[in-house]
A = this chain, B = another copy of it.
Amino acid sequence: MADGPLPSWQNTPTKQAIIAFVEDVTDPKSPNFVPVPERIATFDNDGTLWAEQPMYAQLFFAIDRLKALAPKHPEWKQQEPFKSILNGDLKGAATAEGKKALIELVMATHAGMTSEDFSNIVKEWIATAKHPTTGRPFTKMVYQPMLELLTYLRANGFKTFIVSGGGIAFMRPWTEQVYGIPPEQVVGSSVKTQYKVMNGQPVIVREAAINFIDDKAGKPVGINQHIGRQPIAAFGNSDGDLEMLQWTTSGKGKRFGLLVHHTDAKREWAYDRKSTFGHLDKALDMATKQGWTVVDMKSDWKTIYPDF
């Protein structure tokens, strides 16, 4: 490639820092050389690999599911948070009280079916749903520079993982096609599941109970549980990623931490310390102290989204 490995990245210190890290740890003559099996890189999803404004894609999914299921649940017309959500009043979902509402919404729409049925529902939704302000399919709300970064890392022997607060079962049906990340390399939040034989057919049933929240201090726990080794590079964009970056960059040898800072109100959204979705405050302060690389989306990225 005439433009080198990251064509959608401006030739700024950010891009240079990424390339310098990769060239160093993959150089057998470098004191910082890392063998291929240990080249583990973890990526947050919402706000890091794809857009998270005006709210998480999974929340659009949950609301669409709620509407689809509403005819079978006439009681929801009188019952909060369903009543407000069905009436298009979403303010609650973004408040502190909304956190409880959010869990109720997820449980009502993400459980009570087999894992295979849920996967098919997600596949159908992701193939047809459109982002409300851009009109793009959600799978085209991914960041072109980050797709190139995933490819570049894999070309250099890295194994790339998603480590997201989002639902593991919501991501797995499409991450392989969109990011080149197979289901077994996706770590996320989950509901409890049970193995059952129903009418002679073995199935995994999704229950309306939280199993694991893969956010904040849950991210290193989830990584340790799923991957079993400390990443050497971690990529995030919010305070939810603080512990993942902290743990990753505290390890022995050369490490790399990166935060995507949403600074581009024109081409995407500009937000950080005051945002509900993708709240970035403490981690931004910590970045300087810890030597984490911060992407200034406005000046570091030539393009935001892929063509479609």
Across the interface, A228 reaches (CB within 8 A) one of B186, B211, B219, B220, namely B186
Chain A 222-276 interface residues, beta-carbon cutoff 8 Å to B = 224-229, 243, 246-247, 250
A59 within 8 Å of B by Cβ? Answer: no
Q: In the complex where A190-B225, A194-B221, A195-B247 touch, is A184 in contact with B159 (Cβ < 8 A)?
A: yes
Question: A184 contacts which chain B residues (CB < 8 A)?
Answer: 40, 159, 184-185, 226-229
CA distance A204 to B224 in the complex (A): 8
B194 touches A217 (CB 8 A): yes
Asked whether A15 is an interface residue with its Cβ less than 8 Å from the other chain, the reply is: no
> With A and B bound together, what is the CA distance between A250 and B204 in angstroms?
12
Q: Which residues from B are CB-within-8-Å of A217?
A: 194-195
Q: Are the C-beta atoms of A221 and B243 separated by less than 8 Å?
A: no
Q: Does A88 contact B (CB under 8 A)?
A: no
Contact among B168, B185, B204, B220 with A204 in the assembled complex (CB-CB below 8 Å): B220
Chain B residues positioned under 8 Å from A135 (CB to CB) = none
Complex Cα spacing A255 to B217, Å: 39
Residues of B within 8 A of A243 (CB): 195, 202
On chain B, the residues within 8 Å of A185 by CB distance are 184
**Interface residue? A37 (CB, 8 A):** yes
Residues on B with beta carbons closer than 8 Å to the beta carbon of A182:
37
Whose C-beta in chain B lies nearest to the C-beta of A190?
Answer: B225
Question: Could you jot down 20 A-B contacts, CB within 8 Å?
Answer: A37-B182, A40-B184, A115-B224, A168-B228, A169-B228, A183-B227, A183-B228, A184-B184, A184-B226, A184-B227, A184-B228, A193-B224, A194-B217, A194-B221, A195-B220, A195-B221, A197-B246, A202-B247, A202-B250, A211-B225
**Interface residues in chain A, defined as those with a beta carbon under 8 Å from any beta carbon in chain B:** 37, 40, 115, 159, 168-169, 172, 176, 182-186, 190, 193-195, 197, 201-202, 204, 211, 217-221, 224-229, 243, 246-247, 250
